[in-house]
Structure formats: structure tokens, C-alpha cells
Amino acid sequence: MTAFPQYAKTTDPAVIAIVEANKAGWREHHEKACAFAIANGVPDGAYYPSNFAGTNRVHAIGGDTRPTTGQWKRGSRGYGWAPYKNNPLHAELEALRFDDASLPGLPDMVDGPYLPNGSHVWYTPQPFIWAGAVWVGFSGQPRDTERASDPDPADGGWTEILASEFHAAKEAYLAAAKATTEDAA
């Protein structure tokens, strides 16, 4: 099995449908997280997300003052507020989770290089839809691990593209998203 390309796209309808479903699922997760924060004293619904390899969770809620709904502590790394485990809201916070569905042919994590200091780099894909295709790119070249468990890029119809193609699509996608956001404001 060869490594997934650094830049790729697909027009496979099944992959497009999964990306759209993941985006809708993340929006619903975001709305629930904001509602949880508001219900616990954060007027603007701010929260600290924890996202990695397709798993989206709520690390803590925002706010300058400790919530009054049960016992709360500072979130890890000192940001926001998280309920103690004996607070019934702890289970509710832990349940605020959305797992992206995997995309055919695309690993949830891609093996990157080992750095001179011994650190190992992992890349997580952040696919987006633009011009009738799903695009994905990584900030570095994925390593060829030859693991049998790695999905075959052909399964999702992924084809390698030039970096310039990916960056042009990403710039157009971000410009359109910004225009949509400004129009809504």
C-alpha cells in the first residue's frame, strides 16, 4: 500500500455525501455545545473544543467566572471551566461528542516524518467541498508505511493533484465562505 498523496481530490458522490453529512453533524454538535455553555452561565455560548482525527468533543465551557450549576474546576491547561466528575453535568459534557464518519480511501490520520528532536508528526485530513469535488491536503509529505490497514486511495476515487490546484481551490473556498459570513452579518 502506498502513502496517501499530499494533495488529492475526488468527485465520488459517496465521499461528497459523507463530507456533507459530517459538516451537518459538526454544526449540530456546535449548537449543542453552545446551548450547554449558555445553560451553565456563559452568555455567548463560548466553549473550548477538542478536535483530533475526526473526534470532536467539548473540553470546557468559556466564561470568566465559575459556573454556579454544581461544582466546577478550571479546564485542563487552565482554560475555561469543566464540571467535576461528581457533578451530574460531567456526564452531559462528556456526551457532547461528534465523530466524523471515515471517508473511503482516506485514512483518519496520516503518518508524517520523525523530527530531529524525536517527535513524530501525524497529519489529520480536513476535507472541504469545492466545485463539485472533495479536496484534501497535508502540510507535509505523508510517509509510506506499507501497513495493510491503510485504506487504498482508489477506494474513494482519490487522485493526486498539484499543490497549486489544491491551494487555488482552498483560497476560492475560503473566499466564498468569508463572503457568505459577511453577507449573513
Average confidence score pLDDT of the chain = 91
Residue 40: which of 80, 69, 79 has the closest Cα? 69
Mean pLDDT lowest among 74-78, 118-122, 158-162: 74-78
pLDDT for 87-103, tens place per residue? 999 999 999 999 999 99
HSE-up of 58 (CA within 13 Å, CB side)?
29
Average pLDDT over residues 103-119: 90
Q: What is the pLDDT of residue 93?
A: 96
In the predicted structure, residue 3 carries a pLDDT above the cut 80: no
Say which residue, 29 or 113, is predicted with more confidence: 29
pLDDT for 146-156, tens place per residue? 666 677 777 89
- 3-class SS of residue 180: helix
Q: Could you tell me the three cell numbers for 46?
A: 463560548
Give pTM, 2 decimals.
Answer: 0.86
Average pLDDT over residues 11-38: 97
Average pLDDT over residues 94-116: 92
In the predicted structure, residue 135 carries a pLDDT above the cut 60: yes
Residue 154: which of 7, 10, 6, 20 has the closest Cα? 10
Q: What is the pLDDT of residue 98?
A: 96
Q: What is the pLDDT of residue 111?
A: 85
| Spatial contact of 46 and 165, defined as CB atoms under 8 Å apart | no
Q: What is the pLDDT of residue 184?
A: 63
Mean pLDDT lowest among 6-10, 52-56, 97-101: 52-56
To the nearest 10°, the Cα dihedral for 25, 8, 135, 15? -40
